[in-house]
Chains A and B, each alone.
Chain A
Amino acid sequence: MKSILDLRFVIGSFFGIIGGMLMVYGLSSGEMAAKTINSWCGGGFFIFGTLMILLSIKRQQKENVSD
C-alpha cells in the first residue's frame, strides 16, 4: 500500500497504461504512419513507466530494510 503513495509508482502506472494502450492501438492500426508513431511512442512510454515503477519498488525495499 505504501508504494502506491510513492509518486514514482503513480507516474509509472500512468505512463505504463498509456504506453500499453498506444502500442496496442498502433499495432492494430491500418495506416502505416499511425502504426509506426503510436507503437514507437507507446513502447517508449511503457518502458519509462516500467522504469519508474521499478524505481519505486526498489526505494520501497530500501526503506523496509532500514526500518
Chain B
Amino acid sequence: MHLKLQLIDYSIIIIYFMFVVGIGIMLKRRIKTSNDFLMSNKNIPLWITSLAFISANLGAQEVLGMAASGAKYGLYTAHYYWLGAVLAMVFLGVFMMPFYYGSKARSVPEYLKLRFDEKTRTFNALTFACMTVFSSGVSLYALALLMETILGWDFSLSIWLAAGIVLVYIFLGGLTSAVYNEVLQFFLIVLGIAPLVYLGFIQVGGIEGIMHNVDNAKLHLWKGMGSATTNPMGVDAFSMVFGLGFVLAFGYWCTDFLVVQRAMISHNLNAARRTPIIAAFPKIFMPLIVILPGILLLALQKQSPGFKLPNQADGQPNYNMTLPLLLSNLYPSGILGVGVTALIASFMSGMAGNVTAFNTVWTFDIYQAHIRKNASEKHYLFVGKATTFVGILLSIATAYVARGFNSIMDLLQLVFGFVNAPLFATFFLGMFWKKTTSNGAFWGLIAGTGAAALTHGLTVAEGKGGWIANVHTYSSGTSHAFNIAAIAFVFCFIFTVMISLVTQPKPEEELKGLVYSLTPREKDMAKVWYKNPLWLGIILLVITLIFNIILY
C-alpha cells in the first residue's frame, strides 16, 4: 500500500519540520543552567504541562496501535482509557503529586532516594534509562518502517532525518522545547485525524451504519467479560480491573517519570496536582480520535473491498495499517499531508519524551549521584546536552538492531515489562505506610520482577511464554500481560511488607513530606471548584462512570 503525496503534502511536512526546529531555536537563549535544560526551571503554565502530559503518551503506539486495537477488539480497547488511565491520573494528581512535588525531588528515582536509599534509586534509574532509550529506538524504527511501507521512503533517511530533528530541538531548547513541541504535536494529531473520523463516520452512515455493519460483540465495554472466552479481547473482568485498571495503569501513570516529569515542571503545587487531572479531560475523549477509526474500518470493510487490510507474513491481517489505510482511502492530497504529518509527529513526540526523561535521569540520578557529585551548573548543563546527543545515537543504534534482530527486541521489551510491573507496589507502600523500609522496597522490587519472569516462564498465550513449563494457557496475549503484571504486583507487595516488618525503618523525622501519615495536610486554598484537584477528579470519575454505563 502506497500513499501518493503531492507537492502540497510535502510542503506541509516541511513547514512542520521548520516549526519544530524553530521552537528549539526560539527557546535556546532561555537555557542557561542544567535546571533550565532538564527541568524547564519549573516555570511552565498549567495548560501546557497538561497537554504535554497527555501528549508524552500520545506516541506512535497510541495513535497507530489503538486504531489497530480498535479494529481488532472493537470498543473493548476503550478500557485502556476509561479504566486504564483516568482513575490513575486522578490518583496521581490528588494523592501522589504532593509527595513528588513537595519533596523537591527532580525525578521519580530521586524521590526513591529520599524515601528509601541510594540502591533503590539506582536500580530504578538504570532500568528506566535503558527502557527510555529502548522505547525511543523502537519508536524510531517503527517510524522508518511505516514511512518505507506507505511512502516508499528510504529506511535510513527516515531514521536520520527524524532523529536529527528531534536532536536539534531538544539540544537547543531542552525540556521546554520538547514540551512545547508536544503541545503542537497534540493539536496536530487531534486536528489532523479528526476530519478522517468525520469522513469515515459519514461514509458508513453514522451510528446506525456502525451498528449495522460491525459485529455486535465488538461494540461493548463489559458485555462478555464474565469469562475470557466470551469477548474478543480474551480477558476476564478481574484481569481487566486488577491487571490493567489497577496494576498497569497506576504503575505507568503514577510512577513513570516520562509522564510524571510533565507535572513536576509546573510552577506551583496546585498546578502540579491539576496537571494530570486537566490532562484526563481530553484523555477521556481520545478514543474518538484513536479507537473509533479502527471501528469505522470494520464497517467500511463491509461496504467496500478497498478497505481490506494487507496481510502479514503469517496470513493474519496487519492491523497496524488501519490508520494508513484510512488515510489513503479517505483523504485527498492536501489534508493527506496533514494526516501524514500527524503520524510523523506522533513518532517524534514519543521519541522526544523518552530522550528528555533519559537525559534528566542520567544527569541527576546516575552521573551526579555516582560519577561527579559537586560540579558546577555549567558542567551539568554540558552533561545534559551530551546525554541528549548520546541518547539519540543509542536510539538510532536500537532502531537498526530492531530491524535486524526482532527477537532481541521482543526479549528486551519483555524484560522491561517485568521490571515495570511491580513498581507501583513499591511507591504505594512507600508513600502510604511509614514502616516500609529501604531493604523491603529494594528486595520487594527484585521479588516482583522475578515473579513476573517466572509467571511468563510457566504460562503460555498465543504461542509465547512457557519457556520453563506450561502450567496454564491464557486465552490471549493481552490477558497474559495483565495477569503477569498482577502477580508481579502482589509478590512485590507481600515481599516488601514482610521484609519491612523485620528490618529497621527510617526515623520518622526523615520521612516528613515523603509519607502520607507524616505530612501535614495542606488545606486546599482554591476558592473555586475548577482549581480544586479533588472536585475535578470527582467530575472525571462521574463522566467515566457514565460512559461505562452507556456503552456497557
Contact yes or no, A21 B184, CB < 8 A? no
Contact yes or no, A33 B184, CB < 8 A? no
> Size class of B's contact patch?
20 to 34
Contact yes or no, B334 A25, CB < 8 A? yes
A27-41 contacts to B, CB under 8 A, are 29, 31, 33-34, 37-38, 41
Taking a contact as CB atoms closer than 8 A, the residue among B187, B199, B338 that contacts A11 in the complex is B187
Residues of A with C-beta under 8 A to B23: 10
Residues of A with C-beta under 8 A to B183: 7, 11
Interface of B is mostly: helix
Contact yes or no, B8 A21, CB < 8 A? yes
A13-63 contacts to B, CB under 8 A, are 13-15, 17-18, 21-22, 25-26, 29, 31, 33-34, 37-38, 41-42, 44-45, 48
Contact yes or no, A45 B191, CB < 8 A? yes
Taking a contact as CB atoms closer than 8 A, the residue among A5, A10, A38, A44 that contacts B334 in the complex is A38
Is B400 an interface residue when CB atoms closer than 8 A count as contact? Answer: no
Residues of B with C-beta under 8 A to A45: 191, 338
- Of all chain B residues, the one with the shortest Cβ separation from A45 is B191
B182-203 contacts to A, CB under 8 A, are 183-184, 187-188, 191, 195, 199
Residues of B with C-beta under 8 A to A29: 332, 334
Report Cα–Cα, A33/B199, bound state, in Å. 11
Residues of B with C-beta under 8 A to A37: 195, 199, 331-332, 334-335
Residues of A with C-beta under 8 A to B27: 5
Contact yes or no, B48 A15, CB < 8 A? no
Residues of A with C-beta under 8 A to B26: 4-5, 10
Interface of A is mostly: helix
Contact yes or no, A14 B338, CB < 8 A? no
Contact yes or no, A15 B335, CB < 8 A? no
- Of all chain B residues, the one with the shortest Cβ separation from A42 is B334
Is B19 an interface residue when CB atoms closer than 8 A count as contact? Answer: yes
Contact yes or no, A14 B334, CB < 8 A? no
Taking a contact as CB atoms closer than 8 A, the residue among B184, B191, B332 that contacts A34 in the complex is B332
Report Cα–Cα, A33/B184, bound state, in Å. 28
Taking a contact as CB atoms closer than 8 A, the residue among A7, A14, A21, A48 that contacts B11 in the complex is A21
Report Cα–Cα, A48/B493, bound state, in Å. 49
Is B333 an interface residue when CB atoms closer than 8 A count as contact? Answer: yes
Taking a contact as CB atoms closer than 8 A, the residue among B180, B187, B331 that contacts A15 in the complex is B187
Taking a contact as CB atoms closer than 8 A, the residue among B12, B180, B199 that contacts A7 in the complex is B180
- Of all chain B residues, the one with the shortest Cβ separation from A13 is B19
Residues of A with C-beta under 8 A to B550: none
Given A4-B26, A5-B26, A21-B11, also A11-B332 (CB < 8 A): no
18 further A-B contacts with Cβ under 8 Å, apart from A11-B184, A13-B19, are A4-B26, A5-B27, A10-B23, A11-B183, A18-B12, A18-B15, A22-B8, A22-B334, A22-B338, A25-B333, A26-B334, A34-B332, A34-B333, A37-B199, A37-B332, A38-B332, A45-B191, A48-B187
Contact surface of A with B, Cβ cutoff 8 Å = 4-5, 7, 10-11, 13-15, 17-18, 21-22, 25-26, 29, 31, 33-34, 37-38, 41-42, 44-45, 48
Q: Can you list 20 A-B pairs with a CB-CB distance of less than 8 A?
A: A10-B19, A10-B23, A14-B15, A14-B188, A15-B187, A15-B191, A17-B15, A21-B11, A22-B8, A22-B335, A34-B332, A37-B199, A38-B334, A38-B335, A41-B195, A41-B335, A42-B334, A45-B191, A48-B187, A48-B191
The 9 closest A-B pairs by CB, nearest first: A34-B332, A38-B334, A25-B334, A25-B8, A41-B335, A14-B19, A41-B195, A22-B334, A7-B180
